[in-house]
Amino acid sequence: MLRRPKPTDSEADLLREQERFLTSGAPSAANVVRRPDKRRGEAGGEGAEHQGEDEERQRDVVTIEDLPDQLPSLTPAPAKKSRFKASRVTFEDEDAGVRLDTHDTHISAVLSRIVERDTSSTPISLPALTGLAFPKVLHRSETSSQVPLSSPGGKKSIFARQIAAQRVKEGKTPLHCAPEAVHTPETSMDTDQCDAVGDSSGPRLVCGQGLAGPDSSGETIRIHRENQAKLQAMSRSEILDEQKKLLSQLDPRLVEFVRSRKAQSDPSSASPSKHLQVKSGNANFPLENACRESDSSSAAALLQKPQEVEMEAEEEEEGPPPPAVTEEDLPVKPQREWVHMNKLEPEKLEWMRDLPAPKRKGTKKAMQARFDFAGTLIPPTEDLPTHLGLHHHGEEPERAGYSLQELFLLSRSQLIQQRTLALSTLANILAKARAGEYVSVLTGSIVSTLLDAGLLFLLRFALDDSVEGAMSAAVHALKALLVCAEDEECLDSTFSWFRGLASFPLLPSAQEEEDEEDEGLPEYMRDTPKEKEERKSDHDVARQDVVKGLLKMKLLPRLRYILEVVRPSPRVVQDILEILTRIARHSSSSATQVLDCPRLMETVMSEFLPPSWTMPSLPLPQSVYGLPLASNMKLLRVLATSGRHACARLLNSLGVRERLSSLLSAEPSELLLESTEALRITTEAYRLWAVAAGYGQACKLYIDLYPSLVKGLQSVHRLLAPSDPLLPLQIQRTLALLCLLTQVTHTAGCHQELQAGMVSSQGEECPPPPPVSWGHVTGLQAPLLGHLKGFVKNLDIPEQKESSLVVIPAYLAYLEAYYHQLSRQNCFKPLETLQELELLTSEVLLPLMSHHVVQGLMKNLKSSSVVCNVQPSHLGPETIPSLPGLACPGLKDRPGLVVPSSPFPLLTSLGLLLETITSIHKGLSCKFTGLLLSEPVIGYLQSCSQATPTLSHTRAWLLRHEHHLLYLLLRLAHRLVPTEPQVAKHASLYHQVALVLLPWLLPGSEYLAHELLSTIIFSKDFLSEGHSGGPEAVELGELKLQEETQEHTSPSLQTVGALLREACVQLPSIRGCFLTHLAHLEPSVLMSRDALLGRNPWINSHLLPELTGPTLPSDWPYLPLVSLYERSGVSDGGGLAMEELPGGALQVVIHCLQWLLLLEVWREEALKVMPPVAKLARLSCVFLCSSDLFLERRVQKLTWGLFRLLTRQSRLDSLDLNFPPPGLASFQDLYSALLTQYEAVSFGDPLFGCWVLLPLQRRYSATMKLAVFGEHVGMLRSLGVTMGQLSIPIERFTSPPEDSLPLLRLYFRSLVTRILKPCWCPVLYVVALSHVNSFIFSQDAAAQEVEAARRSMLSKIYYLTDEVLRNHLLLFRLPQQHLEFGFDMYDQLPPIRAKRLESVIRLRGSGDDKGD
């Protein structure tokens, strides 16, 4: 490697290095080029190449890469060359002095050329005689009122204008004005010869400068007079013809030049003609330049008429133009003494007039949206007063309000007030847009439009503003974009529900991006997702994920700076805390970034959750620094939800444990805070503590604060008095306290198990036992049960009914946790517990279930359901993919899960408790049959069995709670169906609901899916048809069908009824098969089990898994078949990936097909979410995953049965193969693989043949038929499916007639070449005959190519030597499946067909004769 020269190198060293460089042949860092010098006239083209090469040898120019060609200028500007220097003509023998005198502009040269003008013929006007001794002094005020503003002669002095005014007053006219005619706007037209007759002073275009000779001006006058004489001798029509000829020949620019010269020479007549040009483009009229003769009125009339018509047409389209501004329109009248105000200039005074009324546009076209400062949309026709400050000099000054584009422009203004106003208005617009107020009045999404326009970068730049007002407005706008107050309120209201403290991360839906750079690279060379994320720009990241984009833009350090250094107002502090809360809800990684941001959490804890504080002097203090804030406590709670490690950091490193102790050890009234804020912050403190207890943390605090907790429980009934104005806050505080006690009970119930596990772990990792044990929580059950009884009694009191309904579910959830954990303790006493449960049932649960208030709530099940109401009639708020939300604005104003009239929280808690007590005391199950058999529950379940809910962030958080209720109802049914005949009558309904619920379950509910599969889905008790004559009924239906049709369909070696009986016997094995194939979900099932069963010390995060889709796919019944195909199916090379099937694969396929047969016959509704084409595609794996699997006897039976079910009349109508099945690009690709497999391994199997024939029906694409008769024509010899074996009517293949000419030609070729024979391929032989026969004898008009093909085919058929084929093609009548050949024939050709055949043969004969 060559080294760089050093300062210590000698000349010899440099020469040595140069020699090494030349011998190495390495490219040089600098090249020598020759650039042409444009200043010397050198060219860089081909002609200068050789010259450049020669000069290159003489002159070296060193150029370096990435160096600009031209150096930056060091002077202000280079000296410019004269543009006229090159055009000057100079002679070598010309004397320099003479040339200098020629171009001399000195004053002496000018004075020497002055020639006195001849004034002998100039008229002299004498001054008027007056009686005054001296002339009157002229004052400016008098002059301005007397002297005309303009004169034909041009600009005059004040004295000359005063003398002219006196002459006009005396009735005299100046002598030089005598011959000039008086011009009026009516007769002053824009013509080039308008003064040809009346003006003899000379031409205006020709000056005679170029003429040589002394009398050049006289020659010009003579030419001008000749032109005038010629014009006078011509008629009007001749003048117009000549004018048209000139205009068509002359350059338009020359015409404009002539007109401009005329306008300069005649300023007095220019204004009215100009006025007409603006209104109506007069270039369109040939009469424009006509000469004004003596009878100018008639000429004016001729010219004016077309202009008036044009103007009227424009007025119809655009409306009348506004009148010009006059002096009376001005708000301030100009005074004559004002300088330069003697002439009004309307175009400059236009802005001073009143605004025109908004245009009443009767159009359906979209108009630009305008908003006021509150973010309210202003209607286009709204006429608002100007004092509101909403009018401005924009594109539409008459319309009030600001458009989004104008607000963006103002937000970057240099004026602080404009920046602040624009950002505040944008914040209001965003808040209303997130609330959905613009959905019904605006097209498109405002939030998406603003983000696409760069709103995120605009707000991020504005956060760096040094002015606090603008920065505060930017924070408010960012809060309006990210945070939805209704979303947070709804999440808080469901916190006390079952698993309400858990939530989904608000991550955008994952979008798979194709990275072209990684294509073709091995796995180890590809970039990791983290590396790809780092390479993305801020814009790309923000376009996919707004929160992630903000984090990439260093939002957190800026917010920390604002809180720590700027110390803004309380509103800005609240906005920042809410923004941080929304960022923490995004994902666990975002919450970790909030915790890791330097000094952010320390600032938040020290300033807004201090260990001690003083009472604020005002209800609304000017600064919230040094005061505890509820929004800060909520931020800590959301951060703790992201994971147990984050929660431990908060408790131990940031001092949250001490803050909780100081806030909850005293009553809210004893805190030095305003009463509302005190209740809110203690509520959030309880919730944070409940989240920590959900991990098994902060339980030592329970022992320390036990007296305060008991004291709080004792005052519950007193605090929930109806007269308390803070009742809603008191209720939320009580619910948070009960949620805390529930989580502590769960944690204490795990103490014994952890203690035993710690002893037996032998060094393995095991969570340490919590400090709270079961003995610490047993004393709470009795008082809480007494509270529950009291609230049940309060349901009869109208004033306390609503508050009681809100808190009862939390008490039921606590009792469920208590009894669930009690049954796992060593101190469990079964006999005493059973007696307790019987008393609980008789004294609390049964009265509660039968209470009229609860019965009334249950009637709202269907109306409150999210599952049943898939498409709500309301217009929801705006949601965008890059910023998902819960879409809660307006949710409490309509029926739903979170409204007070919703029965879901009560029924879910009741179902939890019933599941626990019936597992302990199984004899109590029969007492709750009324719940399952009640009319509202049955109606609700029936609606759910027919529903198809959609999945999104806006629905998932509610769907999760409704899934819990459905699961608990099914668990209760599982206990009652085997023992209660009344409940068993609805077993099929419960089974149907279980089948539809299974693919609905969301991430985090994997344990529920496992339990459904293990208990209900494959239970014989819920498939009541299997033991109540169901298979026999199916057999009778088959016999009846065969009698009606008198056909023997597919040769099923065993009827479907027998297959169903065998499948019912094999249900336990089928269940094991499916559970085995779902074994990959075991880690998720265990995590879900820990969360749902209250195993708190094993829970790692209360943040649910990312919402990527349901836990199980909708095609889960086909899962064993699809997974087998993926392991051993057709590979990319065309062959099988595995030669032999793995062990047990045959039994897996049989169990899968048995289960599918059961579902298709008895639970058809459960599979309706799958389109028929998807079912057909997945069943095709039977033929593709092995070369002989479909030949197995049991597989054949089951596949025949499924094929017959799929090809029933109703199913065939809904089978659309043109629609790509889910998971495949197109059905044609799958069909191509099937054809290849059939040719290779089918051995003429009828089942495989029917499968291949199914897509060849006439209603499907011709592409698949072209593949059979083109690429895979060899399979026609082995496709021996008979008419009796085909369960599809042959008419579906032959009707309507084929119109694809390439396919018809293939049909004809396969018949004529004997590739297609009735003994080899009976079905397609009939199909080809039918379509070719219809084509050759068709009477429909067609293109020349089609008609020629018809005649050609018909003539070739006539001359066929095979008489049988010839008769089949000519005498084919109709397909008939019961006949020997499958079709009926004419005895002889009908007359019309015979006539056509004769005409074609005659035409063919005459053509042959001519050819001879």
How do residues 697-716 score in pLDDT, each as one tens digit? Answer: 999 999 999 999 999 998 88
The stretch 857-886 carries a mean pLDDT of 81
Residue type, 1072: G
**55, 1023, 1034, 1057, 1398 from 1029: Cα distances, Å:** 107, 11, 9, 10, 65
CA distance 395 to 404: 13
CA distance 495 to 737: 11
Cα dihedral angle (496, 502, 507, 510), rounded to 10 degrees? -130
**188, 1018, 1243 from 1290: Cα distances, Å:** 89, 39, 23
The stretch 485-492 carries a mean pLDDT of 93
Check residue 1006 and give its pLDDT: 96
Which range scores top for mean pLDDT: 178-182, 513-517, 947-951? 947-951
Q: Give the pLDDT band (50/70/90) at residue 192.
A: very low
Nearest of 683, 674, 579 to residue 630 by alpha carbon = 683
CA 494 to chain centre: 29
Nearest of 1030, 1015, 952, 1020 to residue 987 by alpha carbon = 1020
Q: Could you tell me which residues come within 8 angstroms of residue 899 by beta carbon, excluding any fewer than 6 positions away?
A: 864, 891, 892
Residue 1040 has pLDDT above 70, yes or no: no
CA distance 1062 to 1051: 19
Instruction: Write out pLDDT tens, residues 398-408.
Output: 788 899 999 99
Q: Could you tell me which residues come within 8 angstroms of residue 416 by beta carbon, excluding any fewer than 6 positions away?
A: 467, 469, 470
> Element (H or E) spanning 712, and its range?
helix 706-714
DSSP H helix total and E strand total for the chain: 66, 4
Check residue 636 and give its pLDDT: 97
Structure tokens at 887: 């879409």
Which range scores top for mean pLDDT: 126-140, 292-306, 691-705? 691-705
Nearest of 1355, 1265, 1349 to residue 1310 by alpha carbon = 1265
Check residue 1410 and give its pLDDT: 43
Q: 380-389, 436-445, 1016-1025: which range is least confident on average?
A: 380-389
* Cis peptide, bond prior to residue 1296, ω within 30 of zero: yes
CA distance 539 to 520: 28
Instruction: Write out pLDDT tens, residues 149-191.
Output: 444 445 567 677 777 776 666 554 443 433 333 333 333 333 3
Q: Which residue has the tokens 């949206």?
A: 369
Give the number of other Cβ atoms within 10 Å of residue 1333's Cβ: 21
How high does pLDDT run on average in the chain?
81
CA distance 1293 to 1291: 5
CA distance 1224 to 1229: 8
Instruction: Write out pLDDT tens, residues 71-88.
Output: 555 445 455 555 555 555
Q: Could you tell me which residues come within 8 angstroms of residue 1187 by beta carbon, excluding any fewer than 6 positions away?
A: 1136, 1240, 1241
The stretch 1347-1374 carries a mean pLDDT of 91
Give the number of other Cβ atoms within 10 Å of residue 1220's Cβ: 17
Q: Could you tell me which residues come within 8 angstroms of residue 1045 by beta carbon, excluding any fewer than 6 positions away?
A: none
CA distance 34 to 54: 10
Q: Could you tell me which residues come within 8 angstroms of residue 419 by beta carbon, excluding any fewer than 6 positions away?
A: 410, 411, 412, 413, 462, 465, 467, 470, 473
User: 675-679 long-range CB contacts below 8 Å, 24 or more apart?
Assistant: 675/726, 676/726, 676/729, 677/629, 677/630, 679/726, 679/729, 679/730, 679/732, 679/733
CA distance 576 to 579: 5
If you write DSSP's letter for every residue of 1113-1165 in order, what string do you get? -TTGGGHHHHHHHHHHSB-TTSSBS-SSPPTTHHHHHHHHHHHHHHHHHH-GG
Q: Could you tell me which residues come within 8 angstroms of residue 349 by beta carbon, excluding any fewer than 6 positions away?
A: 325, 330
Nearest of 1229, 1235, 1317 to residue 1271 by alpha carbon = 1235
Q: Could you tell me if 584 and 506 are in contact, meaning their C-beta atoms sit under 8 angstroms apart? A: no
Q: 98-112, 1111-1125, 1199-1213: which range is least confident on average?
A: 98-112
Q: Give the pLDDT band (50/70/90) at residue 602.
A: very high
Torsional class of 958: left (φ above 0), alpha (ψ -120 to 50), beta (otherwise): alpha
Q: Give the pLDDT band (50/70/90) at residue 1049.
A: very low
Q: Which residue has the tokens 């359906």?
A: 364
Q: Could you tell me which residues come within 8 angstroms of residue 1000 by beta carbon, excluding any fewer than 6 positions away?
A: 867, 949, 959, 963, 1110
The stretch 485-510 carries a mean pLDDT of 92
Nearest of 1050, 1017, 1007 to residue 1250 by alpha carbon = 1050
Give the number of other Cβ atoms within 10 Å of residue 133's Cβ: 5
Q: Give the pLDDT band (50/70/90) at residue 295.
A: very low
Tell me the sheet residues that pair with 30: 64
CA distance 653 to 1264: 69
Q: Could you tell me if 1021 and 1256 are in contact, meaning their C-beta atoms sit under 8 angstroms apart? A: no
Instruction: Write out pLDDT tens, residues 1312-1327.
Output: 999 999 999 999 999 9
Check residue 1044 and give its pLDDT: 47
The percent of residues above 70 in pLDDT, for the chain, comes to 76
